[in-house]
C-alpha cells in the first residue's frame, strides 16, 4: 500500500484517478478516494483556495464550470461542528457511508456518462467538493462544437431522466446548473441559509454600480428556484454598497443560486450600467419573526391571567399532593425517628444495659392537679366519643394548665392529633412571615411565601400597564385558605386510613362511615385562640371557618384552648346554629396547690446520689421545718399553676416559703407598674386605657376583692368608652370579668390571685398612691370643668334671647344646679389635691 505522500506524487504519472491534497496548518484532508470511483484522466482538487490560492475558480477557453447539489447531506456539518471539520470532504470515519463513490453521487462520473451518451466530448478536469453546502463544483472541458448553454441543458435533462437520489435523500434528486459568475470557494465558518444578500459592486475602480430593481433580480434568480420575497434596500439608506435580500423557498435553491451567480457581471444591456455591475452574494441569517413572542407581549390582558391560571394549575397538580403528604406525615409522625419502632427497641435495649439516671420533669407535681381535675379529663374523652358536630372549648386564665390537661391527659392515648398554636401566627409581622408560621404549625411544605411579594409586584406592574387586575398575586386570605384546605385533605385521609374492606359497615360511603365512627377521627387542638385578637382577626376568622368545616363534615374533632372569655362571639360566626361544649378551668384549691408544691420539692430526691454513710436520702417535705408556712403563703399566692411552680423553684433554692411569696408579690407589683401604669407596650402599640382608669381598678380591688361591673362603668373615670377599656384590661390580664345570669358581665376580679396582695402592696406606698390619686383628681377636675363650661355656654345662649318664656325656667334652674354641683366637686377635688401635693413634697 502506498503512503499518502507517495500516493500524491503518483497522481501525475498514474492513469488512475488520484486525489491531490493540499496540506494546511488547521485543516487536513481525510477523504482518500478509491481509485475505481473516478474515471481515468480526472483529478480531484481538495483545496478550498481555488486557482493559485486566490479563492476563485475561473474557466478558460472551451472550459466550463457547473455546480451539482445533493452530493453530501446538508446537515452533516451541523452535527460534526464546522470549525473542527474540513469543508471539502467528510471525516474519515464517515467516508464509507456518505462518500460520493459509495452513495452514487460522484460528480465526475455524471460528466463522463453524459459525455459518453450525448457525444459532447466532455471531460471533468477538477472536482471541488463543498461539504457544508452539500454539493460540488465540477470544472470540465469541451471541444467547442456545442454552446455552453446546450451542455447545461443536456446535463439537466440527464439528471431529470435518471433521477439520481442518494440514500439520505430518497425524495429529492440531484440538480445541476451552469456557473455564470466567478464562484468563491472559501473555507470560513458560514453555514448556508435560505436568505441571500446580493451586493451591487462596481466592476472597475472609480466606476458606479447600479442598484437592480426587484424585477431584474427576479429575472436573474428565479430560474434557480421559487422566491418567497425580494427585499430591496430602503431609498433613504446610506449604507454602501447597495444591497438587496433574496428569500428562497428552501435551502438547496439558495445554495445553487449563490454558487452559480456569485461574481456575475450584469452588462449594460441587462441593466448593469455602462461599465457593468458585479453581484456579490453571501448567506444572510434570516431573522425569524417572533410572532408568538410579540403576540404574548402585546396581549397582556389575555396572557397574564392565562399564565396565572397555568401556574395555579401546576401548583395544584404537582405541589398539592406533596404538601398533603408532608401534612399527613406531620400528624401521624411517620417521619419522626423517636416514634420509630426500631429506634424505640434500640433505645430500650441500650437503656437496659446502661442504667441512666433520669431526671423527673419539673411538672412532676401535676399528678395532684390531674387527680383534682379527673372529671374534666373524662368529660373531654366522653365528648370525643360522641358524634355531635360542634366545638369543644376549654377556657381558663393563662397558666391554668389548659394545654397540659387536653394534650397530655385527655388525649394521651390518642394517636392522631395536631396542635395549632395561634400565638406565633398572630405575632408574625408581614404576610410572608404569617404564611410561614401557619405552614410550620401543620407541616405544610414546600411553601413559597416569598413568591407572594414578587407576584404582588408583578400584579401591580401588570395592572399599571393594562388597567385591570390580572389576579396573578394572592392575598393572605387565599394563602391561608390553601394551607387549611390541604390540612383538611390530610385529616380526611388519616381518618379513612383505618377503614378496611372486611369491616361490617364497609358498604357505607366515606361520609356515612366518618359519621358512624367518631372515635376514628383525628383531633385538632387550637391553642392560644384569640391571642391578641384586637390586632386583627383574619387569622382567627379563617381558623374558625376551617374548624367549622372539619366538624360539620365529620372529618375531625376540634378543641379550642383560649384565655378570652368572649370566645363565643368569634366562634358563633362560624357555627351560628350550634351549642358549644364548654369547659372552664379555674385555679387550684388550696389543698391541691399545697400538694403540687410539695410534689415539686420531692421530685429530685430519686436522682440525688446516695449518702456515703449509707443513711437514707432526706426528703424535703419531711426534713424542712418551714413548710408549715405553706398554708398562709398559698392563701396569698392563690392556685395559679405557673405561680405555684415559681414558688416551688424558689423554695428549692433555699428560701423560706414566706420570703419566696413576698418576693413573688414584689415582682408582681413591679410588673403591674410597668405594664399597666408607667410603661408602654413593647411592640409600640398605644394602650386602650389611661393611667387613671387602671389605678382606680387597682385601688378598689385592693380594698375589695369583688367589684360590681356596672358600678365601675358608672364612675366618672369610666364614662368614656368604659366597656371597651374593661375588655382591653381583661385582655391584658389585669382583671378578669366573671359572667352572671344569662351570660352578662357581673363581677370584676383581679387577673391573677397573686395580684390581690400585689395591689395592696402598691396602695400601701404613700408616695405612689398620692401621685396616682392626684392624677385621678386632676382628671375628674377636667371633667367637671368641661361640664361647667358647657353649662355656662348654654346659659349665655339663653340669656341672649330678648324675651325669655316661662317654659325656659326649668331648664335654666337645671343648668344652674348642675353648674353648682360641678363647682362643688371641683372645690372638693382641689382641696384633696392640696393634701396630696403636700405629701408628695414632703415624702421621698
94-112 per-position pLDDT tens digit:
665 666 666 667 788 888 8
Q: Which residue has the higher pLDDT, 615 or 748?
A: 748
DSSP letter string, 614-665: -PPPPPHHHH-SGGGGHHHHHHHH-S-HHHHHHHHHHHHTT--HHHHHHHHH
Mean pLDDT of the chain: 80
Q: Give the C-alpha distances (Å, rounded to integers) separating 221 from 130, 226, 299, 576.
A: 21, 9, 40, 85
| H helix or E strand, kind and range, residue 220 | helix 214-221
Nearest to 664 by CA among 749, 567, 761: 761
Q: Check residue 670 and give its pLDDT.
A: 93
| CA 85/CA 107 separation, integer angstroms | 22
Cβ 327 vs Cβ 483: under 8 Å = no
Neighbours of 68 (CB within 10 A): 27
- HSE (side-chain half, CA atoms, 13 Å) at 644: 34
pLDDT of 818 higher than 70: yes
Q: Check residue 47 and give its pLDDT.
A: 44
pLDDT of 142 higher than 70: yes
pLDDT band for position 20 (50/70/90)?
very low
Q: Which residue has the higher pLDDT, 167 or 704?
A: 704
Q: Which of 156-165, 260-269, 323-332 has the weakest average pLDDT?
A: 156-165
pLDDT of 64 higher than 60: yes
Helix axes 641-652, 657-672, angle to 10 degrees: 130
pLDDT single digits (tens) 340-377: 667 666 766 566 555 444 444 445 567 778 888 888 89
Q: Check residue 461 and give its pLDDT.
A: 61
pLDDT single digits (tens) 460-513: 665 555 555 545 456 778 888 889 999 999 999 999 988 887 878 888 888 889
| CA 279/CA 265 separation, integer angstroms | 6
Which residue stretches of 414-523 are H helix? 422-427, 431-442, 450-466, 476-497, 510-516
| H helix or E strand, kind and range, residue 536 | none
Q: Check residue 24 and give its pLDDT.
A: 31
What is the mean pLDDT of the segment spanning 296-318? 76
pLDDT of 244 higher than 90: yes
| CA 498/CA 520 separation, integer angstroms | 7
Q: Does the model's pTM come out above 0.85?
A: no
pLDDT single digits (tens) 30-44: 333 443 344 433 444
pLDDT of 437 higher than 70: yes
Q: Check residue 22 and give its pLDDT.
A: 29
| H helix or E strand, kind and range, residue 303 | helix 300-314
Q: Check residue 146 and give its pLDDT.
A: 82
pLDDT of 82 higher than 70: no
pLDDT of 187 higher than 80: no
pLDDT of 194 higher than 50: yes
Q: Check residue 227 and give its pLDDT.
A: 92
pLDDT of 3 higher than 60: no
| CA 29/CA 85 separation, integer angstroms | 9
Q: Check residue 672 and give its pLDDT.
A: 93
| CA 652/CA 665 separation, integer angstroms | 18
| CA 562/CA 393 separation, integer angstroms | 8
What is the mean pLDDT of the segment spanning 313-325? 81
Cβ 35 vs Cβ 17: under 8 Å = yes
pLDDT band for position 625 (50/70/90)?
confident
Cα angle, residue 19 at apex, residues 15 and 22 outer, rounded to 5°: 140
Q: Check residue 792 and give its pLDDT.
A: 94
Q: Check residue 560 and give its pLDDT.
A: 94
Q: Check residue 458 and give its pLDDT.
A: 60
| CA 360/CA 498 separation, integer angstroms | 36
Q: Check residue 1 and give its pLDDT.
A: 34
Q: Which of 3-17, 117-131, 539-553, 632-646 has the weakest average pLDDT?
A: 3-17
Q: Check residue 824 and give its pLDDT.
A: 95
- As a whole-number percent, the residues of the chain with pLDDT over 90 amount to 30
| CA 325/CA 68 separation, integer angstroms | 66
Q: Check residue 19 and give its pLDDT.
A: 32
End-to-end CA distance of the chain: 123
pLDDT single digits (tens) 558-596: 999 998 877 888 888 888 888 899 888 888 888 888 888
Cα angle, residue 682 at apex, residues 679 and 683 outer, rounded to 5°: 135
pLDDT single digits (tens) 277-299: 999 999 998 766 677 777 877 77
Amino acid at each position: 500500500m502506498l503512503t499518502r505522500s507517495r500516493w500524491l506524487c503518483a497522481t501525475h504519472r498514474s492513469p488512475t484517478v488520484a486525489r491531490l491534497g493540499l496540506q494546511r496548518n488547521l485543516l487536513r484532508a481525510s477523504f482518500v478516494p478509491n481509485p475505481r470511483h473516478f474515471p481515468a484522466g480526472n483529478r480531484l482538487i481538495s483545496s478550498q483556495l481555488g486557482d493559485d490560492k486566490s479563492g476563485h475558480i475561473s474557466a478558460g477557453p472551451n472550459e466550463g464550470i457547473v455546480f451539482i447539489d445533493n452530493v453530501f447531506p446538508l446537515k452533516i456539518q451541523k452535527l460534526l461542528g464546522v470549525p473542527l471539520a474540513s469543508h471539502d470532504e467528510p471525516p474519515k470515519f464517515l467516508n464509507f457511508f456518505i462518500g460520493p463513490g459509495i452513495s452514487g453521487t460522484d460528480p465526475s462520473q455524471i460528466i463522463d456518462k453524459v459525455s459518453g451518451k450525448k457525444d459532447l466530448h466532455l471531460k471533468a478536469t477538477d472536482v471541488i467538493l463543498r461539504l457544508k453546502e452539500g454539493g460540488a463544483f465540477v470544472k470540465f472541458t469541451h471541444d467547442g462544437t456545442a454552446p455552453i448553454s446546450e451542455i447545461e441543458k443536456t446535463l439537466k435533462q440527464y439528471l431529470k431522466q435518471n433521477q439520481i437520489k442518494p440514500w439520505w435523500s430518497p425524495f429529492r434528486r440531484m440538480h445541476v446548473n451552469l456557473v455564470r459568475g466567478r464562484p468563491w470557494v472559501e473555507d470560513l465558518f458560514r453555514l448556508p441559509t435560505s436568505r441571500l444578500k446580493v451586493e451591487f459592486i462596481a466592476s472597475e475602480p472609480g466606476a458606479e454600480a447600479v442598484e437592480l430593481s426587484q424585477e431584474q433580480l427576479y429575472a436573474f434568480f428565479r430560474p434557480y428556484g421559487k422566491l418567497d420575497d425580494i427585499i430591496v434596500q430602503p431609498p433613504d439608506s446610506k449604507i454602501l454598497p447597495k444591497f438587496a435580500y433574496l428569500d428562497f423557498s428552501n435551502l438547496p435553491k439558495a445554495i445553487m443560486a449563490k454558487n452559480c451567480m456569485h461574481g456575475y457581471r450584469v452588462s449594460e444591456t441587462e441593466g448593469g450600467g455602462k461599465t457593468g455591475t458585479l453581484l456579490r452574494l453571501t448567506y444572510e441569517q434570516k431573522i425569524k419573526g417572533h410572532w408568538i413572542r410579540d403576540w404574548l407581549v402585546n396581549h397582556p390582558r389575555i396572557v397574564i391571567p392565562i399564565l396565572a391560571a397555568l401556574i395555579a394549575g401546576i401548583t395544584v397538580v404537582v405541589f398539592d399532593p406533596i404538601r398533603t403528604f408532608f401534612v399527613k406525615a406531620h400528624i401521624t409522625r411517620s417521619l419522626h425517628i423517636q416514634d420509630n419502632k426500631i429506634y424505640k427497641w434500640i433505645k430500650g435495649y441500650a437503656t437496659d444495659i446502661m442504667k441512666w439516671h433520669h431526671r423527673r420533669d419539673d411538672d412532676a407535681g401535676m399528678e395532684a392537679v390531674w387527680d383534682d381535675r379527673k372529671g374534666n379529663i373524662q368529660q373531654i374523652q366522653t365528648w370525643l366519643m360522641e358524634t355531635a358536630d360542634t366545638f369543644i372549648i376549654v377556657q381558663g386564665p393563662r397558666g391554668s394548665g389548659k394545654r397540659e390537661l387536653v394534650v397530655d391527659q385527655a388525649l394521651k392515648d390518642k394517636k392522631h392529633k395536631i396542635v395549632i398554636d395561634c400565638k406565633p401566627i398572630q405575632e408574625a409581622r408581614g404576610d410572608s412571615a404569617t404564611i410561614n408560621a401557619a405552614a410550620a404549625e401543620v407541616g405544610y411544605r414546600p411553601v413559597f411565601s416569598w413568591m407572594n411579594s414578587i407576584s404582588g409586584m408583578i400584579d401591580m406592574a401588570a395592572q399599571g400597564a393594562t388597567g385591570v387586575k390580572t389576579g396573578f398575586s394572592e392575598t393572605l386570605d387565599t394563602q391561608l385558605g390553601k394551607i387549611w384546605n390541604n390540612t383538611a385533605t390530610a385529616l380526611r385521609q388519616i381518618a379513612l386510613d383505618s377503614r378496611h374492606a372486611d369491616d361490617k359497615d364497609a358498604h357505607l360511603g366515606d361520609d356515612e362511615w366518618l359519621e358512624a365512627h367518631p372515635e376514628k377521627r383525628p383531633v385538632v387542638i387550637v391553642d392560644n385562640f384569640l391571642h391578641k385578637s384586637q390586632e386583627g382577626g383574619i387569622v382567627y376568622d379563617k381558623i374558625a371557618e376551617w374548624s367549622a368545616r372539619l366538624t360539620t363534615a365529620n372529618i375531625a374533632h376540634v378543641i379550642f384552648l383560649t384565655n378570652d372569655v368572649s370566645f363565643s362571639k368569634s366562634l358563633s360566626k362560624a357555627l351560628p346554629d350550634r351549642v358549644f361544649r364548654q369547659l372552664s378551668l379555674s385555679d387550684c384549691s388550696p389543698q391541691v396547690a399545697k400538694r403540687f408544691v410539695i410534689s415539686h420539692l420531692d421530685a429530685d430526691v430519686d436522682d440525688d446520689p446516695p449518702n456515703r454513710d449509707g443513711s437514707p436520702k432526706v426528703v424535703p417535705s419531711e426534713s424542712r421545718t418551714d413548710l408549715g408556712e405553706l398554708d398562709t403563703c398559698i392563701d396569698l399566692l392563690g392556685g395559679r399553676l405557673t405561680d405555684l411552680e415559681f414558688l416551688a423553684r424558689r423554695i428549692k433554692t433555699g428560701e423560706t416559703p414566706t420570703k419566696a411569696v413576698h418576693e413573688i408579690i414584689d415582682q408582681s407589683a413591679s410588673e403591674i407598674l410597668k405594664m399597666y401604669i408607667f410603661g408602654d407596650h413593647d411592640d409600640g402599640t398605644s394602650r386602650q386605657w389611661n393611667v387613671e382608669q387602671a389605678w382606680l381598678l387597682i385601688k378598689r380591688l385592693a380594698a375589695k376583692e369583688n367589684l360590681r361591673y356596672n358600678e365601675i362603668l358608672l364612675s366618672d373615670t369610666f364614662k368614656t368608652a368604659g366597656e371597651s377599656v374593661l375588655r382591653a384590661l381583661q385582655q391584658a390580664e389585669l382583671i378578669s370579668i366573671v359572667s352572671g345570669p344569662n351570660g352578662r358581665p357581673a363581677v370584676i376580679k383581679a387577673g391573677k390571685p397573686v395580684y390581690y396582695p400585689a395591689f395592696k402592696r402598691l396602695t400601701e406606698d404613700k408616695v405612689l398612691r398620692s401621685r396616682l390619686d392626684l392624677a385621678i383628681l386632676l382628671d375628674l377636675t377636667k371633667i367637671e370643668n368641661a361640664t361647667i363650661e358647657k353649662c355656662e355656654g348654654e346659659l349665655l345662649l339663653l340669656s341672649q334671647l330678648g324675651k325669655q318664656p316661662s317654659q325656659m325656667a326649668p331648664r335654666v334652674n337645671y343648668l344652674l344646679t348642675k353648674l353648682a354641683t360641678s363647682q362643688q366637686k371641683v372645690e372638693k377635688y382641689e382641696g384633696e389635691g392640696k393634701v396630696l401635693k403636700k405629701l408628695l413634697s414632703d415624702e421621698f
